[in-house]
Amino acid sequence: MLLVEQFPVLIVTTGVFAGYTILIAGLVNRKSCAYIFLSVVFSHLIMSLFILHHVLTVGTIHYWLGGWRPPWGIEYVVDALNAYILVIVLFLSLMAGLYAKRYEEHKLEERKHVTYFTLFQLLVAGLCGVVVTGDVFNMYVLSEIVALTAYALIASPGGRTLKASYNYLVMGSVGICFYLLGIGFLYSVTGTLNMADMRILLPPLYQNRLVFVAYALILVGFSIKMALIPLHTWLPDAHAFAPSEISAMLSGIIIEVYTYAFIRISFSVFTVDFLRLLPIFDIISWIAAIAIIYGSVLAIAQINLKRMLAYSSVSQMGYIMLGVGLSISTRSALWGGLTPALMHILNHALMKGCLFLVAGAFIYKFNAWNITDLRGLGRKMPWTCGAFVLAAISMIGVPPSVGFVTKVYLIFAFVEAGNFIFMAILLLSALLNLVYFWRVIEILYMRPGGEEGHSEHHAEHAAPGKSEEIPLFMLIPVVTLASLCMIMGIVWLTEIPIVGAIPILDNVNKLFGLGAYTP
C-alpha cells in the first residue's frame, strides 16, 4: 500500500491525537498550543494535496480500518469529491487558525486558550473525518464530534453566546437524530452500514416505503445541519456571536461539509435512478430558490454586521443547493451535474471566510459590531477594508471574481434546464447582495470617520491618517482569502474550457453519472 493511501486515516487520527497533545502541551506552555495547531493543520493540508493528486492521477483510495474488510469494518473512501472538500476544509482551517492566534490572545481569557485550541483541533479532525469516511454510521459519530466541539467553541466567549450555542445544540442534535433514524431504517432493510455496499443492496428496494422514509429523514436531518430554509433558525445567532474565526469556519465550511454529506448520501448510497423516482430534487431547487431571496432580504434588515453575513450565508447555501437540485437535469460537460454547486462550495468558503474574518477585525480593533459603527474605517484599516471590498464585490458577482463565475455557470444550468424563473431569482439576489454589501462599503469609505464629526474635517481625512491595521498574523489570512476571491475566479475561467471541465469536478460527475456522463 502506498503511503499516500494511508493519508486519509492519518489525517483523522493524528488530528484527534493532536487535540490531546495540545491539551497536555498547554499545561506546560500555553503559547505552544497555537503553534502545534498550526503545524498540524498545515501538515494535514499538504497531505490532503497529495491525496487530491493521487485521486486524480491514480484513482479512488480505499482504506480499511484495522484491516477489516468492508462491510464488516469501517472503510475510508476518498474519491475526487471528498479529496476536493478535504483540501477546502484544511485550507480554511489553516487560515482561521492563523487568525485565531492573535484574535483569541486578545479576546479570550488566558486560561481558556488551551481548551480553545484543543477543541478547535478536534473540530478540524472531526470535519476531516466526516469528509473521508465511507461508512454511514462513522459519519454520524464524526458529525457528533464536529457538533459538540462547535457548540463549545461558539460558547467560548461566554455571555450572550450561550443562548446561541444552546439553540444550535438543540437544533443540531435534532438534526443529527433524524440522520441517525434514517440510517437506522436503511440498516434495517439492508443490514449494512458501508456506503458502497448499500449502493449495491438498495436498488431492488427502491419501491420500499421504508427507503423513502429513510431518505426523507436524512434529507431533513442534513437540512437542519446546513441551515436550509425553513430549518435555518439556529444559524444567524450562532454565526453572529461565535468568535469570528469560528464564524468563518461555520459559514465557510461546516455547513458546506453537511452539504457534502448530503451529496454523498444522495449519490453514493442512493443513485440518480432513485432520485428520479420522486421530484425530490425539484422540491429542493424551489426551497433553495426561496432561501436565496429570503436570506438576502433578511440580510438587508440587519444592523449587526456578522448577523448580516450569517443571513447572507443562508442565501448562499441556497445557491449551492440550487446547484445540487439542478444537478440531475443538466447534461452539459461544462456546467452540468454538480459542477456549479461544487464550485460554489469553494467560492463561498473563500468569500464568506474572508468577510467574517474582516468583521472580526473590526470587533478586535474597535469593538464595532454594528454596521453604523464602521464609519470611516476605510482609511484607518486600508488593507482589511480593501479585502472586505474584494470579497463583497465577489459576493455581488462583479467579474472576474469567484461569485461571477458561479453566477455564470448557474445561469447556464438554468438556461439548459429551461427554467427562467430561477434565473430571475438569481439575478435579483445579486442585486439584493448589492444592497446590503454596498451599504457597508459606503459606510467604510464614504462616510467621514466616527467621533470627529464630518465635513469640516475633510482635509484631515484626506491626509493619510495613522494606520490602525490589525496585526500581521490576522492580516495574512484576510488578504490571502480576499486575493484568492479574484485569483480563483480567473483560474476557474481559464481552467475550465481547457479540459472540458476542471478535472476534479469532471471526475465527480463521472463518478455519479451526472452531467455529460448521464447514461
Partner 1 sequence: MIEIESIRPVLALLCPLTAAFLILASRNHPNIRESWTMIASVMQFLVVLSMLLIVKDLEGGVITYSIFNMLPGVDLAFKVDAFGLLFAITSASLWILVSSYSIGYMRSLHEHAQTRYYFCFAFAILGAEGVAMSANLLTMFIFYEILTVATYPLVAHDQTEEALFAGRKYLAYLLTSGVFFLAASLITYSLVGTTDFRNGGILTIDAASRSALMVLFVLFLLGFMKSAWMPFHSWLPTAMAAPTPVSALLHAVAVVKAGVFGIVRIVCYIYGVDLMSQLGLGILLASIASFTMITASLFAIAQDNLKRRLAYSTISQLSYILFGVALLKPMGVTGAMLHIPFHGFMKITLFLCAGSIMVASGKKNISELAGIGRIMPFTMFAFTVGAIGMAGAPPACGFVSKWFLCMGTLEAENLALLAVILISSLLDVVYFFPIIYIAFFGKPKEAELTNGGKREIKEASPFMVIPLTITAIFSMVFCVPNPISNVIITLAKLAVSGLGGV
Footprint on this chain of partner 1 (rule: CB under 8 A): 334, 393, 396, 398-400, 407-408, 411-412, 415-416, 423, 427, 430-431, 434, 438, 442, 445-448, 455, 458-459, 461-462, 464, 493-494, 496-498
- Smallest gap, in angstroms, from Cβ of residue 408 to partner 1? 7
Toward partner 1, which CB reaches closer, 280 or 485?
A: 485
Q: Are strands 75-78 and 61-64 parallel, antiparallel or unpaired?
A: antiparallel
Q: Is 77 helix (H, G, I), strand (E, B) or coil?
A: strand
Among residues 509, 516, 62, 512, which one has the least CA distance to residue 266?
512
Minimum distance from CB of 512 to partner 1 (Å)?
A: 23
Report residue 76: phi and psi, to 5°.
-100, 125
Least distance (Å) from partner 1 to the CB of residue 498?
7
Type of residue at 344: H
CB-nearer residue toward partner 1: 310 or 343: 343
Q: How far is the CB of 362 from partner 1 (least distance, A)?
A: 20
- CB-CB contact of 386 with 358 (8 Å): no
Q: Between 275 and 411, whose beta carbon lies closer to partner 1?
A: 411
Based on CB atoms, which residue is closest to partner 1, 471 or 500?
500
Give 364's contacts (C-beta < 8 A, 6+ positions apart).
102, 103, 106, 107, 244, 470, 474
Give the torsion sign (CA, 507, 512, 513, 516).
negative
Closer to partner 1 at the Cβ: 283 or 431?
431
- Residue 131: count of CB within 10 angstroms of its CB: 30
Q: Which amino acid is at 299?
A: A
User: Least CB distance from residue 340 to partner 1, whole Å?
Assistant: 13
Which phi and psi (to 5°) does residue 332 adopt? -75, 150
For partner 1, the closer of residues 355 and 425 by Cβ is 425
What interhelical angle do 339-366 and 503-512 show, nearest 10?
130
**Nearest to partner 1 of 153, 390 (CB atom):** 390
- Please identify, using beta-carbon distances, which residue of 228 and 496 lies nearer to partner 1: 496
For 334-395, what is the HEC assignment?
A: CCCCCHHHHHHHHHHHHHHHHHHHHHHHHHHHHCCCEHHHHCCHHHHCHHHHHHHHHHHHHH
Q: Which is nearer to partner 1, 195 or 496 (CB)?
A: 496
DSSP labels, 311-335: HHHHHHHHHHHHHHHHGGG---TTT
Spatial contact of 92 and 39, defined as CB atoms under 8 Å apart: no
Q: How many residues does the chain have?
A: 519
Q: How far is the CB of 172 from partner 1 (least distance, A)?
A: 36
Smallest distance, Å, CB 442 to partner 1? Answer: 6
Smallest distance from partner 1 to CB 397, Å: 8
CA–CA dist 241, 238 (Å, integer): 6
- Min dist. Cβ of residue 129 to partner 1 (A): 37
